[in-house]
Copies of this chain bind each other. A is one copy, B any other.
């Protein structure tokens, strides 16, 4: 699964204006669970947010890193990431590589909330997180 942006026949390519260089394709939508594929261009990112629902993520393509609560970890194909309820999280592609990943969510879910100033102060007090957020 290398080459250009991964696409699926008949699946609409959506842009995600809350992120940067971020597209979304809904692969399955149903009564219980939605399976989405997100792809970030090199240097792209998902919005930093948290919410009550969880994410189950598998990287399919490229390279990057993610923040989950107060931990930053590098990402490569096949890596699994669980984002617990109300954990702050963000995915970032490497500067020189895209990052494509599946993200599985409950079909009924709450909207993501952006951090407030106090949240950002707390997150940026962690050196690895500060580096990640300014990368």
Interface residues of chain A, those whose CB is within 8 Å of chain B, are: 1, 6, 8, 27-28, 30, 32-33, 35, 54, 56, 58, 77-78, 80, 82, 102, 104, 106
Contact = CB atoms under 8 A, between A and B. Distances in A.
Nearest to A107: B32
Q: Is the interface of A mostly helix, strand, loop or mixed?
A: strand
Each complex incorporates copies of this chain amounting to: 2
B82 A56 contact: no
Contact of A30 (B27, B30, B54, B78): B54
Given A33-B56, A56-B35, A102-B58, A28 B80 contact: yes
Given A27-B80, A28-B56, A28-B104, 18 more contacts: A1-B1, A1-B77, A1-B78, A8-B78, A8-B80, A27-B56, A28-B80, A28-B82, A30-B54, A32-B32, A32-B106, A33-B33, A33-B104, A35-B56, A35-B58, A58-B102, A102-B102, A104-B104
Nearest to A77: B1
A32 B82 CA distance: 13
B35 A104 contact: yes
Nearest to A55: B28
Nearest to A31: B54
A30 B8 contact: no
